[in-house]
Amino acid sequence: MHSEEELEHLLRRIDGRGYKAYKEIQREAFEFDGCQLFIDHVQGDPFAAPSRMRLRVPMEEACIPADLFSNRVRRVAFEDFVARAVARAIRYETRGQRGSGKSGRVLIDSGRQEILERTAASVCSEFLEARLEVGLPATGRRVLGREAEVLLLDELPAIARASLSMEALGEEDARRHIECAEDHAALQSALDEHGLVAFVADAAVLPRESGASDRPPQKDAVPFMAPDALRVSLRLPYAGQVSGMGIPKGVTLIVGGGYHGKSTLLRALERSVHPHIPGDGRERVAARSSAVKIRAEDGRRVMGCDIHAFIDALPGGLSATRSTDAFESDDASGSTSQAANIVEAIEAGSDLLLLDEDTSATNFMVRDARMQALVHPDHEPITPFVDRVRELHDTLGVSSVLVMGGSGDYFDVADTVIEMRAYQPRDVTARAKRIASEHRNDRRQPEARQPLEAPHQRIPDRRSLDPSRGRHDVRVDARGTDTLVFGTTEIDLRAVEQLLDPSQTRAIARILVRAREEWMGPNVTLAELLDRVEGALDEQGLDRFSDRPMNLARPRRFEVAAALNRMRSLRVEQARS
Ligand code: ADP
Ligand code: MG
């Protein structure tokens, strides 16, 4: 470990030299008053991705009570809290951009409204650490040594003082953050024993500021209030008794007029597989952690997917060779893509499907009595979801929550019907059931030809996952949450709506690399592969998923599976049952 003075001398010495001179500090560590600076990677030029540094405060100085990170939920929440505090400290303590390219900028990957496990901050019994991206200052391609001195010797230690100790963080706020995450975890684990798949607390604020912002709205949000028939009261470790709407296992419809808040409720459920930060409005909204949003996604690739429960007997021509118990397509239709999304979610272990009519294929959801009269079932390959949704629950234990304002055919198969009216839920189950029995004459005929069975397991072929395709420079990266670059192929993830953070996409890229190297094999089914991924994430943590420091956030197994399933080079074998 070098001293502060050595760093100062070095920066003075390289002042005005070519940018490469900064490489002298790469992989060095410096001891300052109260903190340590580790320089893991130095950028090649001022316009390249910024340099990676870690700012560490030894625990004797950070003084974080051990109970703030004594289990996984607490540690993740505490680290999330620290990363946000560091982000604020960066705003106060740094002068930001100065010089060419990214010169002078300091960044931390502090996340948005959800609390995710991420690499941005790290706590252990020895130290508290923030992982920063720092633009080493230059003018043109010349080292700005004086600016670097200010940045590394004044600003970074100031960030550490302002955010990397219990005193600077504020113990009360830190505890509130952690308690929020622990209450959410408790809520999630209480769902099962109460026969629920999701819970929305009274007074929750579900709508967001705008389509482009995930923050709570400043004003005019109608707070959520549970209808009496669906009201449950749960006991949480910190918030105590909390009352709200419980969504039971089985088939739940969310109905209501356009613009009355249906999709907003469903979206809140999608997101509530993760905890939210205090003040978000959705802190006490929780869905089972295995909830998967299902949508139509025409154009996606599907490989060897057993969709025959939904699509059978395709007409000849192009699809003559395509069996739907191992369906393949480079360009799936709305209905086949939606069927594949369901089957893949179940294969990966989901037991809660979330569907919105806004993003579903109409012909996949229902075929009404008149259309059945016109087009004979023998000429219709699709068994619509309405004819499978009951069996999904009764046979496979998979519940569904569907937004369905457009078809009353679902009344026959629903367990619970919730009407959203002016953003407030009401229980209309009994009325929907009465209407269904009064209109028995125009009821559609069920179309399922065979009983539903669990879909086949698939074995992904590791050779089909070569990120380099024989080339040397293997590029594995994420472009936002939309695209994952895997060597020479690009995976389109735009329709994977529960992939929330670009750092999750980046983590998936790393996971796929390790899956190929270590975990895939001739007998490893996709579900087993996902178990291995999760096991490694639990045991080793995210840091071990890359050999150099990177902004990573933990994805769920379902998003990992979604990426693998959308890889255009993927080949699979059917597992023998
Ligand atoms: P639907 O799916 O029923 O057509 P949406 O959920 O898309 O309706 O909501 C329509 C609009 O109402 C959106 O702009 C949304 O932000 C807003 N909104 C939803 N819930 C609330 C609420 N609780 N309070 C205020 N505005 C809301
Ligand atoms: Mg809608």
Calculate the alpha carbon distances from 106 to 49, 156, 182, 188, 281 in Å: 12, 9, 31, 36, 30
- 436 and 462 housed in the same domain: no
In a domain, 221, yes or no: no
pLDDT > 90 in the chain, percent? 90
Average pLDDT score, the chain: 95
Q: Write the DSSP symbol of residue 433.
A: H
Last residue of a domain, one of 416, 442, 468: 442
Q: In the prediction, which pLDDT does 260 show? A: 97
Ligand 1, atom 4, residue with closest C-alpha: 259
Asked whether residue 473 carries a pLDDT value surpassing 70, the answer given is no
What is the whole-number distance in angstroms between the Cα of residue 230 and the centre of ligand 2? 22
- Measured in Å, residue 185 CA sits from the centre of ligand 2 at 28
| Predicted local distance difference test score (pLDDT) of residue 472 | 59
The pLDDT value recorded for residue 471 is 62
Instruction: Single out the residue of 59, 62, 56 nearest to residue 35, CA to CA.
Output: 56
> Are residues 418 and 506 located together in one domain of the fold?
no
263 lies in some domain: no
CB of 424 closer than 6 angstroms to any ligand 1 atom: no
In short, whether 92's Cβ falls inside 6 Å of ligand 1 is no
Q: Is the CB of 203 under 6 A from ligand 1?
A: no
Q: Are residues 471 and 532 in the same domain?
A: yes
Q: Are 484 and 567 within one domain?
A: yes
Among 220, 254, 259, 401, which residue has the most ligand 1 atoms within 8 Å of its CB, making it the best to mutate? 259
Residue 320 has a pLDDT of 45
What are the C-alpha distances in Å from 255 to residues 12, 68, 414, 418, 436? 68, 42, 11, 6, 14
The ligand that comes nearest to the alpha carbon of residue 213 is 1
Q: Which atom of ligand 1 is nearest to the CA of 264?
A: 6
Which of the two residues, 548 and 184, has the higher pLDDT score?
184
**Are residues 153 and 37 both part of a single domain?**
yes
Nearest listed ligand to the Cα of residue 257: 1
How far CA 175 is from CA of 8, 50, 72, 258, 335, in Å, comes to 38, 33, 15, 41, 47
124 lines ligand 1 (CB under 6 A): no
Task: Tell me, yes or no, whether 452 lies in a domain.
Answer: no
328 found inside a domain: yes
In one letter, which amino acid is 204? A
Which among 169, 198, 217 is the end of a domain? 169
What spacing in Å lies between the alpha carbon of 331 and ligand 1's midpoint? 33
Of all protein residues, the one whose alpha carbon is nearest to atom 20 of ligand 1 is 261
Q: In testing the pocket of ligand 1, which one of 214, 262, 264 has its CB within 8 Å of the most ligand atoms?
A: 264
The closest ligand to the CA of 256 turns out to be 1
In short, whether 275's Cβ falls inside 6 Å of ligand 1 is: no
Tell whether 421 and 320 lie within a shared domain.
Answer: yes
Helix (H, G, I), strand (E, B) or coil at 535: helix
Residue 323 has pLDDT above 80, yes or no: no
229 within domain boundaries: no
| Confidence band for 321, pLDDT divided at 50, 70 and 90 | very low
Ligand 1 atom at minimal distance to the Cα of residue 358: 2
Q: Please state the atom number of ligand 1 nearest to the C-alpha of residue 256.
A: 3
In a domain, 200, yes or no: no
Q: How confident is the model at residue 456 (pLDDT cuts 50, 70, 90)?
A: confident
Domain boundary among 134, 169, 204: 169
Claim to verify: residue 335 and residue 396 sit in the same structural domain: yes
CA 266 / ligand 2 centre spacing (Å): 9
Higher pLDDT among residues 225 and 470, named by residue: 225
The tens digit of pLDDT for each residue in 73-101 reads: 999 999 999 999 999 999 999 999 999 99
Residues 52 and 126 in one domain: yes
**Domain assignment of residue 334, given as a range:** 291-442
The mean per-residue pLDDT over the stretch 477-488 comes to: 90
Distance 422 CA to ligand 1 centre (A): 8
Q: Tell me: do 303 and 438 sit in the same domain.
A: yes
Ligand 1, atom 16, lies closest to the CA of: 207
- Name residues whose C-beta falls within 8 Å of residue 321's C-beta, 6 or more positions apart in sequence: none
**Smallest CA separation from ligand 1 atom 15, residue:** 207
pTM: 0.96
- Asked whether residue 145 carries a pLDDT value surpassing 50, the answer given is yes
Instruction: Let me know if residue 494 belongs to a domain.
Output: yes
pLDDT band at 467 (very low <50, low <70, confident <90, very high): confident
pLDDT greater than 70 at residue 577: no
- What does the alpha-carbon distance between residue 109 and residue 111 come to, in Å, rounded to a whole number? 6
Q: Tens of pLDDT along 527-559?
A: 999 999 999 999 999 999 988 889 999 999 999
Which pLDDT band, with edges at 50, 70 and 90, does 415 fall under? very high
Same domain, 410 and 462: no
| 3-state SS string for 232-250 | EEEEECCCEEEEEEEEECC
Number of domains, the chain = 3
**Same domain, yes or no: 414 and 531:** no
**Average of per-residue pLDDT across 129-137:** 98
Q: Is 97 near ligand 1, meaning CB less than 6 Å away? A: no
324-357 pLDDT, tens per residue? 889 999 999 999 999 999 999 999 999 999 999 9
322 band by pLDDT with thresholds 50, 70 and 90? low
Q: pLDDT tens for residues 219-262? A: 999 999 999 999 999 999 999 999 999 999 999 999 999 999 99
List, for residues 499-517, the tens digit of each pLDDT value. 999 999 999 999 999 999 9
What is residue 53's three-state secondary structure? strand
**Ligand 1: centre distance to CA 222 (Å):** 9
- CB burial class (10 A; 0-12, 13-18, 19+) of residue 76? buried
Do 12 and 134 belong to one domain? yes
Tell me if 176 is assigned to some domain. Answer: no
For residue 358, how far is its CA from the centre of ligand 2 (angstroms)? 6
Kindly state if the Cβ of 267 falls inside 6 Å of ligand 1.
no
256 lines ligand 1 (CB under 6 A): yes
317 — pLDDT class (breaks 50, 70, 90): low
Residue 263 CA to ligand 2 center (angstroms) comes to 4
Beta bridge partners of 56: 36, 129
Name which residue sits closest to atom 10 of ligand 1, judged by CA: 259
